[in-house]
Amino acid sequence: MPKMFFHLCDHSDYLLDQQGSNLDLADVPRRTLRAAREIIADDCLSGHVNMGYSIEVRDEGGKNIHTLFFKDAIEFVGLE
């Protein structure tokens, strides 16, 4: 299985994943969505959520495989 690196980005600031994870390409979107939702959920408990994050998944060659913006990870209803 290829190694994928899940970098957490806040506009210009990158929190690099130095270790990476071995997983199938097909699992990348599901894994990314899970990570984003988990971080949002944990931040919700603290009462402060930064929806400006995204997760960029890159392979060992640095090629972008997938990007997920936090704002696309969850659906808000009843805000209006």
Partner 1 sequence: MSSRDPHPLTAFAQRLGSRVPLSEPASAAVLALPHSVRVMPAGEHIVRERDRPSHCCLMLSGFSYRHKIVANGGRQILAIHMAGDMVDLQNTFFASSDHNVQTLTQCEVAFIPRTSLEELAFSFSSVGKAMWLETLIDGSIFREWIANVGRRNAKQRIAHFLCEFAVRLEAIGLGETCNYELPMTQEQIGDVVGLTSVHVNRTLMALDREGLTERTRRSVIILDWQQLARAGDFNTHYLHMPEQPSALA
33 within 8 A of 73, measured Cβ to Cβ: yes
Question: Smaller CB distance to partner 1: residue 17 or 59?
Answer: 17
Among residues 2, 9, 35, 59, which is the contact residue for partner 1, using CB under 8 A?
Answer: 35
Distance CA 62, CA 48 (A): 32
Question: Smaller CB distance to partner 1: residue 14 or 77?
Answer: 14
Is there binding between residue 59 and partner 1 (CB under 8 A)?
A: no
Question: Closest approach of Cβ 62 to partner 1, in Å?
Answer: 18
User: What is the token pair recorded at 7?
Assistant: 């970098």
Question: What is the chain's Cα-based Rg?
Answer: 13
State the sign of the Cα–Cα–Cα–Cα dihedral 65, 70, 72, 74. Answer: positive
Which residues sit at the interface with partner 1, rule CB under 8 A?
6, 8, 15, 17, 19, 21, 31-32, 34-36, 38-39, 42, 45-46, 55
